[in-house]
Amino acid sequence: MNDQFKSIKAIEQSERRNRRNNKEIKEFIINTLIMIAIALVAGGVLGFVHELTKEPIATMAAREKQAANSKVFESAASFSETILDESLDLSEFETLYPGVDITDCIQALDDNGNALGYVFEVTSHEGYGGDIVFSAGINNDGSLNGIFITSISETAGLGMRAPDVLVPQFIDRYVSSFEVVKGGASTPSQIDAISGATITSKAVTNGVNAALEYFRLYLNGGEGHES
């Protein structure tokens, strides 16, 4: 009798365990399906938002780029599509300027479609707070119209003063390269560093020198610069 009672009790315990296990499995499956459904819905929403905002973002970026082009080449009536040649052997340039990338190059055109010079999009990876991106306008004779910073994240009150302190020093210069000095510039090729932000000053200046060098190496750059 006791053995029969124990057997019945064991069966009941086994059934309870099975029911509990089945319940846990069912809950796991339901929760998994809910998570999958949420992921699918979220993915769909993100995809929809991406498609919805892709064109406005692209339009805004194009306008900002056009504004930067005009800032460094005010005499241009229009600008060409990119002429950056990805087949070029850039080994010499990359050896000279390993911390700088020329990410775009377009031609500045007059009313008749004649080329006035080039606008370079430059990314310097040597900034104190990260990449510094700017446009540089170079005339056919190799003279520099100027630069316009489009992205910078340097220290507030120091490197972030680059647009106000450094940019004006690059306007209408005709030199082979620039050097950063402290205490005031005395020649056209010297750039007076931002006080307390020498790294930022050198990053921008090195980027400008890289654009000038790219022009000379790959775009039949001019000669006869001031020192």
Residue 194 lies in a domain: yes
Best CA proximity match to 102, nearest among 221, 223, 215: 215
Residue 52 lies in a domain: yes
Q: Could you tell me which residues come within 8 angstroms of residue 64 by beta carbon, excluding any fewer than 6 positions away?
A: 150
| Same domain flag for 126 and 202 | yes
**Cα gap 94→101, rounded to integer Å:** 8
| Same domain flag for 66 and 94 | no
**Cα gap 60→187, rounded to integer Å:** 39
Distance of CA 65 to the CA centre of its chain: 12
Query: 72-128: per-residue pLDDT in tens?
Result: 999 999 999 999 988 889 999 999 999 999 999 999 999 999 999 999 999 999 999
Residue 184 to residues 157, 180, 187: CA-CA distances in angstroms? 19, 10, 10
| Same domain flag for 4 and 43 | yes
Q: Is 159 exposed, middle or buried (0-12, 13-18, 19+ CB in 10 A)?
A: buried
Amino acid 124: pLDDT = 98
Residue 73: CB atoms within 10 A of its CB come to 26
Residue 225 lies in a domain: no
- Give the domain range for residue 37: 1-72
Looking at 34, 49, 72, the residue that finishes a domain is: 72
| Radius of gyration in angstroms for the set of CA atoms belonging to the chain, rounded to a whole number | 31
- Residue 166 in tokens: 């450094």
DSSP H helical ranges for the chain: 2-72, 91-96, 162-165, 198-218
Q: Are 211 and 175 in contact (CB under 8 A)?
A: no
Q: Residue 105: helix, strand or coil by DSSP?
A: strand
**pLDDT confidence bin for 225, thresholds 50/70/90:** very low
Query: 152-200: per-residue pLDDT in tens?
Result: 999 999 999 999 999 999 999 999 999 999 999 999 999 999 999 999 9
Best CA proximity match to 209, nearest among 84, 74, 217: 217
Amino acid 38: pLDDT = 86
- The pTM for the full model equals 0.73
Count how many domains the chain has: 2
